[in-house]
Amino acid sequence: MDVDLKLPGQPIQIPRGPAPQLSNGVYSRDGQVRASLVGIPIYQASTLSIRRVRPHPPTSNSIVLGTVTRLSPIQATVSITVVDGIPLLPGEEFTGVIRVQDVRATDKDRVKMGDCFRGGDVVKGVVISLGDAQSYYITTARNDLGVIFATSEAGYTMQAASWQEMRCPKTGKIEKRKCAKPEGL
Amino acid sequence: MSTNFDRRRINGPEDSFSPVLVDDDEDETKWRPGKPRQSRQPQDIRPIFLQPGLISQANGSAYIETERTKIACAVYGPRQSKNVGYIERGRLNVQVKFAPFSCHKRRAPIRDAEDRSIAVLIHQSLVSSVRLELFPKSTIDVFLTIIENDGIDSCVATGTVAASTALADAGIEMLGLVTSCAATLMGEEIWLDPNHDEATAGASTLVLACMPALNVVTSVWQNGTISPKQGLECMKACQERCETIHSIVAQSLVSNFTPE
């Protein structure tokens, strides 16, 4: 049995010195820091947490991946399938919305939804708020956010040609999307 | 019968009774009200078998068995709440199902009042332990299947322990593990963890749920006639026994833990 393994409710001894920041899996009650998950508490700089790689609901600033399920001139509905790099279980997706003013940072009033997303596109975005009863609000107004995977009308996976164009490799046809800048470029 | 009928299923005859194989009245070994407790002391509980993580599809699960009470529990979520307004805190949804073969008489696979009242009691025991403020707009589903039923009080207590273990197995943040113990008042004696026969013979039953790690009681459910003094004694006895159960839960979670 691991000595450091903590169970929910078990007190965690804090070394002398400045109090650590409490993160996932730990809480403080009546001045005593306790675990709220099964796991081993670890320090990262001054943050104390118990890590648990489990699917969790999006919070603000979560990076999410999702599929566009519905498109209207005002907003695009996205079915969130990955939150912070952790895939959600099938059937447990969350619904997100990209409003027209959250698509890009510049020229916001000239955004046409149909020129930025299409149904079935996989979009990378950041949650800006918990939104309303139905959905989370997502923004793609950053260079590294936007469509990361899309198929052309002919049915082939397209390649990004610029930040607002994608090209079909078979037909050479250009389609409009709000593309995400690939990582490491 | 009309409310308890589901035309989509193959229904048995309207009333059927299992054959009585042993003549109950002549069975000398059977426990009868008035006799001293069989095979254990009044303050003893039945042996507990607890195994987390048996249901692979679920986010977290637990199976618990104490002699003739057998309950499987599965936890799903947190998933997005549907058809409700914006809520800052998460919701804990508890559903209890009886297997058709769980009781002495066949139980039609339809939701009735009894499983819902058990669900409400288990929900009450658990809800203050889960850190629901961390799950806005989300629902955590807890499904319990009673495979064998040996008294409602025992089902509530055992189900609470199984559900709390399953929540811990699912990695849902909690203030502490919840354990629960039932007691029945048999004359002047307090019998802990009664089975069905003992609970029905007793004058009063009490189910207490608590978080032993924090020394906090989350729920008390009492039935029948009891004096305040005896009630407090029952609660004290239950709380002590809850600590024993807590160590069983802790042991099962520790032995099931795999570092990621």
CA distance B170 to B160: 15
Nearest one of A55, A54, A61, A103 to A78, comparing CA atoms: A103
Does residue A182 sit within a domain? no
Does residue A184 sit within a domain? no
Determine the straight-line distance between the first and last CA of chain A, rounded to whole angstroms.
46
Which pair of structure tokens corresponds to residue A69?
A: 């399920």
Say yes or no: A47 and A135 in one domain: no
Give the domain extent around A40: 1-52
Which of B77, B131, B254 is facing A36, going by the closest CB pair?
B131
> Which residues of A are less than 8 Å from B61 in CB distance?
none
Say yes or no: A47 and A73 in one domain: no
pLDDT of residue A1: 45
pLDDT of residue B24: 61
Which of A2, A8, A132 is facing B177, going by the closest CB pair?
A8
Report in angstroms the alpha-carbon separations of A57 from A96, B3, B160. Answer: 12, 39, 25
Tell me if ipTM is over 0.85: no
Nearest one of B248, B226, B259, B245 to B51, comparing CA atoms: B248
Say yes or no: A46 and A101 in one domain: no
Per the structure, the count of domains in chain A is 2
Long-range Cβ contacts of B225-229 (<8 Å, 24+ apart): B226/B185
Say yes or no: A35 and A92 in one domain: no
> Which residues of A are less than 8 Å from B169 in CB distance?
38
Say yes or no: A84 and A25 in one domain: no
Does residue A183 sit within a domain? no
pLDDT in tens, A18-49: 777 888 888 888 888 888 888 888 887 788 88
pTM greater than 0.90:
no
The vertex-A16 CA angle with A14 and A20, nearest 5°, equals: 55
The vertex-B131 CA angle with A9 and B155, nearest 5°, equals: 75
Is B211 at the interface with chain A, CB within 8 A? Answer: yes
Say yes or no: A46 and A69 in one domain: no
Phi, psi of A69 (to 5 degrees): -105, -25
For the domain bounded by B39-254, which CATH number is listed? 3.30.230.70
Beta bridge partners of A43: A48
The answer to whether the Cβ–Cβ distance between B173 and A37 falls below 8 Å is yes
pLDDT of residue A2: 53
Q: Is A71 helix (H, G, I), strand (E, B) or coil?
A: strand
Say yes or no: A4 and A67 in one domain: no
> Which residues of A are less than 8 Å from B177 in CB distance?
7-9
CA distance B170 to B53: 8
Say which amino acid occupies A11.
P
Task: Report residues of chain A scoring pLDDT below 70.
Answer: 1-3
Are the CB atoms for A37 and A52 separated by under 8 Å?
yes
Are the CB atoms for A2 and A40 separated by under 8 Å?
yes
Does residue A58 sit within a domain? no
Sheet architecture: strand order including A47-50: A21-22, A47-50, A41-44
The answer to whether the Cβ–Cβ distance between B213 and A8 falls below 8 Å is yes
- Find where tokens 């790689």 sit: A53
CA distance A20 to A14: 8
> Which residues of B are less than 8 Å from A132 in CB distance?
86
CA distance A56 to A24: 11
Is B217 at the interface with chain A, CB within 8 A? Answer: no
Beta bridge partners of A99: A75
Which pair of structure tokens corresponds to residue A111?
A: 């955004």
Does residue A39 sit within a domain? yes
The answer to whether the Cβ–Cβ distance between B174 and A36 falls below 8 Å is yes
Say yes or no: A100 and A139 in one domain: yes
Say yes or no: A48 and A90 in one domain: no
Which of B59, B86, B131 is facing A133, going by the closest CB pair?
B86
pLDDT of residue B163: 94
pLDDT of residue B4: 65
Say yes or no: A72 and A159 in one domain: yes
pLDDT of residue B245: 92
Residue of A nearest to B130 (CA): A36
Say if strands A21-22 and A47-50 run parallel, antiparallel, or are unpaired: parallel
pLDDT of residue B82: 79
> Which residues of A are less than 8 Å from B242 in CB distance?
none
The answer to whether the Cβ–Cβ distance between A54 and B177 falls below 8 Å is no
pLDDT of residue B18: 73
Here the CATH number for the domain that contains residue A29 is: 2.40.50.100
CA distance A158 to A149: 7
Is B54 at the interface with chain A, CB within 8 A? Answer: no
CA distance A67 to A119: 8
Determine the straight-line distance between the first and last CA of chain B, rounded to whole angstroms.
52
Long-range Cβ contacts of B130-134 (<8 Å, 24+ apart): B130/B90, B130/B92, B130/B167, B130/B172, B130/B173, B130/B174, B130/B175, B131/A27, B131/A36, B131/B173, B131/B174, B131/B175, B132/B89, B132/B90, B132/B91, B132/B92, B133/B88, B133/B89, B133/B90, B134/B90, B134/B173
Burial class (CB in 10 A: 0-12, 13-18, 19+), A40: middle
| CA atoms within a 13 Å half-sphere pointing along the CA-CB vector of A184 | 0
One digit per residue, the tens of pLDDT, for chain B of length 260 reads 455 667 787 777 777 777 777 666 666 677 777 777 777 888 888 899 999 989 988 888 999 999 889 999 999 878 888 777 778 888 899 999 988 888 877 777 777 777 888 999 999 999 999 998 888 888 899 999 999 988 888 999 999 999 999 999 988 889 999 999 999 988 888 888 888 888 888 888 999 999 998 889 999 999 888 889 988 988 999 999 999 999 999 999 988 887 66
Does residue A68 sit within a domain? yes
Does residue A57 sit within a domain? no
CA distance A77 to A39: 36
Residue B78: cis peptide before it, omega within 30 degrees of 0: yes
Residue of A nearest to B85 (CA): A133
Say yes or no: A67 and A34 in one domain: no
Say yes or no: A105 and A43 in one domain: no
> Which residues of B are less than 8 Å from A57 in CB distance?
78-80, 135-138
Does residue A181 sit within a domain? no
